[in-house]
């Protein structure tokens, strides 16, 4: 079993404890009736936004697919919007606040960047390129004599300035470099 899946029951337990604590705090602050009413109002708003975010995600995916663009950005944005709406629809004040935060566009774009980086690490380069478009790769021309003179960086005897190879980026406006990205083996 994967390490992350073992933490799911603990995470769900923490969410339930947080929901109860937030509900009790709001119930003491506003009163029990207002706390229950706010849970129902948040769930109703979540159901309405769930439909809206679902339609928005589908339209974004369809437009990207029809125009021949990689659909990864639209799919990721749509899934984050659906997750936010789903968390808002789940009865509870804590999950509602997390759902509303995910529906805020700047937070969603930051989360989308994080989800995209995580997805690119977990899938092959070819699949990531198909989902999110071509990656920008910088090619550096290093000084081979200086690299071999510095020796391995793990020896710890040379200073950081000696171990670092300073290189200028290779910029050629019209030339394309053909190659492939070789990923290291994952353990």
Tens digits of residue pLDDT in 61-79: 888 888 887 777 888 888 8
- Please answer whether residues 101 and 109 qualify as being in contact, where contact means their C-beta atoms are separated by less than 8 angstroms: no
Which of 165, 170, 169, 162 is CA-nearest to residue 143?
165
Low-confidence ranges of the chain (pLDDT < 50): 1, 147-166
Q: Provide φ and ψ at 177, rounded to 5°.
A: -105, 125
Distance, CA of 53 to CA of 26 (rounded, Å) = 28
The per-residue pLDDT for 21 is 92
Q: Is 92 helix (H, G, I), strand (E, B) or coil?
A: coil
The per-residue pLDDT for 163 is 44
The per-residue pLDDT for 40 is 93
The per-residue pLDDT for 11 is 85
The per-residue pLDDT for 154 is 45
CA max distance for the chain = 76
Residue 5 CA, chain-centre distance (Å), reads 18
Distance, CA of 132 to CA of 129 (rounded, Å) = 5
Tokens of 109: 């774009």
The per-residue pLDDT for 44 is 93
């Amino acid at each position: 079993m994967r390490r992350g899946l073992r933490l799911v029951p603990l995470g769900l337990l923490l969410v339930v404890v947080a929901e109860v604590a937030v509900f009790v705090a709001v119930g003491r602050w506003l009163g029990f009736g207002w706390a229950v009413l706010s849970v129902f109002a948040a769930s109703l708003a979540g159901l309405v936004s769930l439909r809206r975010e679902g339609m928005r995600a589908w339209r974004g995916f369809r437009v990207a697919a029809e125009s021949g663009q990689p659909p990864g950005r639209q799919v990721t944005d749509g899934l984050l919007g659906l997750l936010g709406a789903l968390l808002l629809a789940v009865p509870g004040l804590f999950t509602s606040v997390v759902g509303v935060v995910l529906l805020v566009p700047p937070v969603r774009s930051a989360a989308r960047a994080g989800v995209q980086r995580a997805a690119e690490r977990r899938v092959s380069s070819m699949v990531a390129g198909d989902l999110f478009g071509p990656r920008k790769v910088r090619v550096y021309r290093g000084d081979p004599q200086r690299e071999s003179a510095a020796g391995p960086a793990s020896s710890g005897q040379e200073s950081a300035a000696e171990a670092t190879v300073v290189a200028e980026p290779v910029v050629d406006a019209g030339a394309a470099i053909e190659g492939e990205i070789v990923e290291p083996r994952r353990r």
